[in-house]
Amino acid sequence: MAAHALALALVLLPSAAQAQLLPPTLPTLDGLPRPSAPPPEKGPVVPARVERWRQEAKALEFGEGMPRDPVRAAELYCRAARHGDAESQYSLAWMMTNSRGIERNEAEAAHLFAAAAEQGYVQASNILARMGQPLGAPPLCLRPPEEDRAVAAAVAPAPPARPTVAGQAAMQRPSPPPLPRHAPEALVRYVQLAAPEYQLEPHLVLAFIATESNFDAAALSPKNAQGLMQLIPDTAARFGVRNAMDPVQNVRGGMAYLRWLLAYYEGDVVLAAAAYNAGEGAVDRYRGVPPYAETRQYVWKIVQAAGGLMRHGFDAKVTKPSDKMPLMNRPWHVR
């Protein structure tokens, strides 16, 4: 009877009186703010800075030692997530999934959970198993940061121009770096002889060997990557390596894979290095260097060890280029 009486009153009373009888409006999740993506950084970002962003974000999210500010927390998590911080990727995804002071966005959260899971973050893997694999392009918080242009400039300064016969300026390739002091002389000579067979610069191959195994032919990683160029069994089989612990077979298999990656990414050393570390599937999915801290550090270590080489010749007959090349986010790339 009370409900019928209220309905009758709402019909008969003017609108002002109706408002006094209605219960107060409850807040909805639709009204929560949506944080904006942070602007690009002005220079290279070191891991300690990424950790500070995460720690400040956590304090702002939970109001520990400072007023709670979920929007600012989300922006800082986003900043760290772009640089591959798995915990920040997970925390931002959790905020998006549970509307913790910011707008719910399960589509972007799935991408963030996936990035954290791919780096071994167990909690993210468990949640992703229930959500399913993400669809569509990765969100801005997982795009390669624009400051990669500054990182590239820091590890590979622009080479000087030299005049051509016609008097026009032409860019020189970076000079090969000095050989690593601890590189075995026999291995260096072998790479110098064999690399041209694979249309590779010897100093690029040596950069991969130095970074992957530090010239240890018996190196074995926790993920069962083996030998000088750290071939996993699937990659070894893919390129005809029967014994990955044999130094000659290992180096030839690694060079074959590197030649293939350079063709697949049209000579982009940064993308090829990222794929060597994380797989070409991850590079294609994220349309650039994947948002993994290890991979981001690995890429620029390779470029630096190779004397700043970021563009390399490639044989287009080896394989078709990735169909994601037109979509790649490459802030380091100069057209």
- Closest-CA residue to 115 (of 136, 97, 88, 96): 88
Residue by residue, DSSP assigns 236-287 as HHHTT-S-TTSHHHHHHHHHHHHHHHHHHTTTBHHHHHHHHHH-HHHHHHHT
DSSP SS3 for 17: helix
Contact 215, 229 (CB under 8 A): no
Q: Would residue 212 show up in a list of annotated catalytic residues for this protein?
A: yes
Strand partners, 115: none
Candidates 212, 266, 280, 294; catalytic one: 212
| C-alpha gyration radius of the chain | 26
Whole-angstrom distance, CA of residue 82 vs CA of residue 85 = 7
- 120 vs 101: CA distance, rounded Å: 27
Closest residue by Cα to residue 333 from 265, 260, 263: 265
Joined together, the tokens standing for residue 79 give 């900043």
Cite the active site residues. 212
